Structure 1
Amino acid sequence: MSANIHPTAIIHEGAQLHPSVTVGAYSIIGPHVSIGAGTCVGPHCVIEGHTSIGDDNHIFQFASLGAQPQDKKYAGEPTRLAIGNRNTIREFCTFNTGTSQDTGVTRIGDDNWIMAYVHIAHDCVVGNNTILANNATLAGHVHLGDWVILGGLTGVHQFVKIGAHAMAGFASRVAQDVPPFMMIEGNPLAVRGFNLEGLRRRGFTPERLKAVKQMHRLLYRQGLTLEDAMQAIAALLQEMPEAAQDIALMQSFLATSTRGIAR
């Protein structure tokens, strides 16, 4: 056994661990698990199911990754959990595999900071560079864009999509789609503004910030119907070409929203 594997850990035959992986005391790694270089698995973790974990992740004690989905329709299909690189996964997190009612994969991207007691249910897709504070809970089929921040005790309803750079305050109840860049809070949920400080920290230019501010106004401050707001946002491409990628991101999100946007 590798010197990086505690002698009390149980590594099932068939598990594929890079030689540099560290596994703490009493952890259990199932037969269909693969773990990439430099990943550290703390003590008392259970990693099971068809689960792939990339490089340089830090998984703290008592995490449960790759267990069967909490879905009564699940009938033992070999669905998957895929976790990318450089993620921090704190204590008591629970991530489930997907279901055949969706793509069959629960997917976590790269460079995410996931705090204690976070639950990520079946078929969720979490992007890159997100922050999920303590006890944030994602029901099945939730999609989080890159750079999303969820405050502690926030609950996200199944099938909800939250766009890139959005931020939810503490204990928010999210039951509708949240457009990119927006700041939301509360129960009932309300859009409080846009994520100005977060965008500044990510290097958004004044021109791009101006475009995001204008999109927020069109959606939430001018009394427009959603259809009229979408047309006005499309017109911004001519006025603000330097923000074309941000406008396109908003257009794509609004066009594919299935639960209606939080307004």
Structure 2
Amino acid sequence: MAIHPTALIDAKACLDSSVEVGAYSIIGPDVCIGAGTKIGPHVVIEGHTTIGSDNTFFQFSSIGAAPQDKKYAGEPTRLEIGDRNVIREFCTFNLGTTQDLGVTRLGNDNWIMAYVHIAHDCQVGNHTIFANNAALAGHVHIGDWVILGGFSNIHQFCKVGPHAMVGMSTSLTQDVPPFVMLNGNPAAAHGINVEGLKRRGFSREQIAAIRQSYKLLYKSGLTLEQAKTALDQQIAGLAPEQVTHVQAIREFLDNATRGIVR
């Protein structure tokens, strides 16, 4: 292991032989780090924290600290981080709590910029981008390919569906359906993330179906229950390659817990 002599690594910590640890970093006894991961200088990793392979942690991050929850009483809750994530400077990721799943999760291939906070019990998917100072309160769920703009703030228990895009400095207090772009205070929807979908290989027909779903939900003047019925009718007439994405929108509406931005 390429470990700087000033780094403090507990003898009980489990580090792959290829892990690199920079100067003055501290790694606690219940930490496990996979192959190829690089820990920069002045990083603190503690708690029951599992980190996968080929991650990069820049300097001054605090990973696996106790949740900022007054109910937390030192239970052995966890933080799990997947593979190939980039975590920039001054990020703070907290452990879970027993009031939820007991684990905070960050998936694979995420790009997490400076000063991002991921609170207790958050569940973050894959291929996300969190710009500087984005902050998740507790129990937030973020789907795959979501983009959070700088200084965006997500209220506790909110859900953001896959491929959604939250604009800079947006304060989000309700759930965001898949594919939707929104910003402002209060947050308001402004179409679907067309450019992102094109970059990810969505076909013209798939994007057209998603756009039609957006119109039914946001532009038709229908109540939410009426829009759900209209989406069911749309799904019944779609080609097989279009159904999956519209079905994802429809299922999200049934599982929204804080109401949707609308």
State the distance in 2 between where 1:8 and 1:234 align: 61
Residue type at the aligned position of 1:37: A
Residue 248 of structure 2 aligns to a residue whose secondary structure is helix
Report the CA distance between 1:244 and its aligned residue. Answer: 1.2
State the distance in 1 between where 2:17 and 2:63 align: 20
Deviations 1:192-231 (A, max 9, x none): 1110100011000111001110011001001000011111
State the distance in 2 between where 1:234 and 1:20 align: 51
Report the CA distance between 1:186 and its aligned residue. Answer: 0.6
Deviations 1:48-78 (A, max 9, x none): 0000000000000001000000000000000
Residue 193 of structure 1 aligns to a residue whose secondary structure is strand
State the distance in 2 between where 1:102 and 1:211 align: 36
Report the CA distance between 1:238 and its aligned residue. Answer: 2.2
Residue 257 of structure 2 aligns to a residue whose secondary structure is coil
Q: Does 1:21 align with 2:19?
A: yes
Aligned to 1:82: 80
Task: Check conservation: 1:166, 1:181, Cα contact below 8 A.
Answer: yes
Q: Does 1:245 align with 2:262?
A: no
Q: Percent identity?
A: 63
Q: Does 1:60 align with 2:58?
A: yes
Report the CA distance between 1:251 and its aligned residue. Answer: 1.5
Aligned to 1:30: 28
Aligned to 2:255: 256
Task: Check conservation: 1:207, 1:240, Cα contact below 8 A.
Answer: no
Aligned to 2:185: 187
Q: CA RMSD in A?
A: 0.6
Aligned to 2:175: 177
Q: How does 1:147-186 map to 2 (within 5 A)?
A: 147-186=145-184
Normalising by structure 1, what TM-score? 0.98
Task: Check conservation: 1:166, 1:195, Cα contact below 8 A.
Answer: yes
Aligned length: 261
State the distance in 1 between where 2:42 and 2:232 align: 52
Q: How does 1:63-212 map to 2 (within 5 A)?
A: 63-212=61-210
Residue type at the aligned position of 2:188: A
Residue 215 of structure 1 aligns to a residue whose secondary structure is helix
Deviations 1:86-117 (A, max 9, x none): 00000000000000000000000000000000
State the distance in 2 between where 1:261 and 1:204 align: 24
Report the CA distance between 1:253 and its aligned residue. Answer: 0.7
Task: Check conservation: 1:9, 1:28, Cα contact below 8 A.
Answer: yes
Residue 69 of structure 1 aligns to a residue whose secondary structure is coil
| Divergent runs of 4+, >4 A | none
Task: Check conservation: 1:40, 1:58, Cα contact below 8 A.
Answer: yes
Deviations 1:123-165 (A, max 9, x none): 0000000000000000000000000000000000000000000
In structure 1, the gaps of 5 or more residues are none
Report the CA distance between 1:43 and its aligned residue. Answer: 0.2
Residue 259 of structure 2 aligns to a residue whose secondary structure is coil
Task: Check conservation: 1:117, 1:136, Cα contact below 8 A.
Answer: yes
State the distance in 2 between where 1:5 and 1:66 align: 20
